[in-house]
């Protein structure tokens, strides 16, 4: 089953020793606050230099860069949906963030990958719904692809941790 290859931890995504970490970016890919800001600070200025060459990123899509000063070899940048009530395709877009990040990881021989709670901060996605989409989409992907050894969800608050735990139990 996919679940056995999923881990859940509280902490700072930028410090995870995995092959790739996923950034909750915006469409410009030129940095921001939250986890995006933390990743750019930790990776150093060369990350922005590479991001400038990518031509942005549409919501639900995923683009890969090097990890620079991070211990992670790669950063996979994805853009989550901004919550606007749930009738503008937000669930599908959020699912695409996980699916596309995982497929970009697979095509770059990434075996261990860590995600933040995409869209659960500035983009105000309801936590329980976002956690369900994250776990269901990831579990389904892992069932169909055995090249990824482990996916770690790294969350930064008790309420989000509890929401993911409910999905994983
Ligand atoms: N490690 C793990 N999780 C983190 C970290 C970190 N270092 N920093 C923040 N988080 C958590 C937040 O608490 C939230 O639960 O990541 C989740 C996602 O929040 P945001 O970073 O605000 O991302 P999102 O809601 O997808 O909004 C993206 O915010 O930072 C800008 O440029 C970004 O415009 C984009 C928007």
Tell me the per-residue pLDDT of 23-35, one tens digit each, with 9 for 90 and over. Answer: 999 999 999 999 9
**Domain tally for the chain?**
1
Q: How far is the CA of 150 from the centre of ligand 1 (A)?
A: 22
Cβ-based neighbour number of residue 18 at 10 Å: 24
pLDDT surpasses 80 at 3: no
pLDDT surpasses 90 at 134: yes
Q: What range does the domain containing 41 cover?
A: 3-168
Q: How far is the CA of 116 from the centre of ligand 1 (A)?
A: 7
| CATH number of the domain where residue 68 is located | 3.40.220.10
pTM of the model: 0.98
pLDDT surpasses 90 at 4: no
């Amino acid at each position: 089953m996919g679940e056995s290859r999923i881990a859940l931890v509280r902490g700072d995504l930028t410090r995870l020793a995995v092959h790739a970490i996923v950034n909750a970016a915006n469409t410009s890919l030129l940095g921001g606050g939250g986890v995006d800001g933390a990743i750019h600070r930790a990776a150093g200025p060369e990350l922005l230099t590479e991001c400038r060459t990518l031509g942005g990123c549409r919501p639900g899509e995923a683009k890969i860069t090097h990890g620079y000063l991070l211990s992670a070899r790669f950063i996979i940048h994805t853009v989550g949906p901004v919550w606007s009530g749930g009738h503008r395709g937000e669930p599908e877009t959020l699912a695409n963030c996980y699916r596309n990040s995982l497929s970009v990881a697979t095509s770059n021989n990434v075996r261990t990958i860590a995600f933040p709670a995409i869209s659960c901060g500035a983009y105000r996605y309801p936590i329980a719904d976002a956690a369900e989409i994250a776990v269901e989409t990831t579990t389904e992907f892992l069932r169909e692809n055995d090249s990824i050894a482990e996916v770690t969800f790294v969350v930064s608050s008790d309420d989000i941790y509890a929401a993911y735990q409910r999905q994983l139990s």
